Amino acid sequence: MKIGSVFISHSAKEPDHSLTGSLAKVLESKGLNVWWDKQGLKGGDFFPVEILEAIIRQNFFIFIVSEHSICSEWCLRELTRATELRKDVKPLLLEPIPRERSPLALAGLQYVDIQSGLTDETKAGIFRALGLSHNVPEQVNQQDPFVRDGRLIKALADQLEYAKTFTNTLNMVLLLENIGNSCCETDRAREVIAGMRSDANCKNGMIDYDLVRSYLLNKWRGL
């Protein structure tokens, strides 16, 4: 695992898209693991698995603030998911936006002003926002994989709490199970995830999201 992982939410329109590509290269050059939608996965009514998985997996969530992004249903969906998952959201101001039009999820957050582009000064500001110095060291202490998997289990449980407001099908549990298996790092997490669809988590012959959510949190804690 690299020194940090970042999801960049951006509009596919210009200049947002090109700036995001340049920003990704800057962050990767300093050793960060960066995910951004350079393949154009957005479309339709439902989140592609790749995007939801990436938001869950990455530590930081950068939101490129522009006229395009605040009008983009997809960007706002990503921001909503990141907020629900309690990700560390870092807004980068590409264009000035009236306060009354700024997404509520960004209220109270400190913006990094990048209206002048990716200069040495704005790059330094971005790294400070990520808790890193401009000259990032080659090696830093990594988090324990059990800590990361604990956050993953919590994220899966939180998604079930949200999902029950619009669905109760097994498909959502299967989706989260697949995401969990692809992201987890420890045998303990794999064991917990494997039990999501057990009979104990069903009621009246149907999967019960509340039972699955409680199971995930309690099983991980050893309760």
pLDDT at 133: 60
Domains of the chain: 5-129 (3.40.50.10140), 145-221 (no CATH)
Amino acid occupying residue 70: I
Cα separation, 198 vs 184, whole angstroms: 19
Average per-residue pLDDT for the chain: 87
Tell if the pTM clears 0.75, that is, is over it: no
pLDDT at 161: 86
Structure-model confidence comparison of residues 3 and 76, the more confident one: 76
pLDDT in tens, 84-143: 888 899 999 999 998 889 998 998 888 999 999 999 999 999 998 888 765 544 444 345
pLDDT band at 7 (very low <50, low <70, confident <90, very high): very high
Q: Which of 191, 192, 186, 188 is nearest to 157 (CA)?
A: 192
pLDDT at 139: 40
pLDDT in tens, 11-27: 999 999 999 999 999 99
pLDDT band at 46 (very low <50, low <70, confident <90, very high): low
Judge contact between 34 and 28, C-beta under 8 A: yes
Q: Which of 76, 53, 57, 77 is nearest to 176 (CA)?
A: 53
β pairing state of 33-36 and 5-9: parallel
Element (H, E) at 15: none
Q: Which two tokens stand for residue 214?
A: 């409680």
Proportion of the chain above pLDDT 90, given as a percent: 52
pLDDT at 134: 54
Give the mean pLDDT of 135-158.
70
pLDDT above 50: residue 215: yes
pLDDT band at 43 (very low <50, low <70, confident <90, very high): low
Our CA dihedral for 62, 65, 68, 74, rounded to 10 degrees, sits at: 40
- Phi, psi (deg, nearest 5) at residue 60: -100, 150
pLDDT above 80: residue 62: yes
Q: Which of 185, 156, 186, 188 is nearest to 173 (CA)?
A: 156
Give the mean pLDDT of 64-86.
92
Strands (E), 23-163: 33-36, 60-65, 88-93, 112-113
Helix, strand, coil percentages, rounded to 5, for the chain: 50, 10, 40
Cα separation, 136 vs 96, whole angstroms: 29
**Count of C-beta atoms within a 10 Å radius of residue 160:** 22
Cα separation, 133 vs 130, whole angstroms: 9
Amino acid occupying residue 28: E
Q: Worst-scoring range by mean pLDDT, 24-28, 116-120, 159-163, 187-191?
A: 159-163
pLDDT at 119: 93
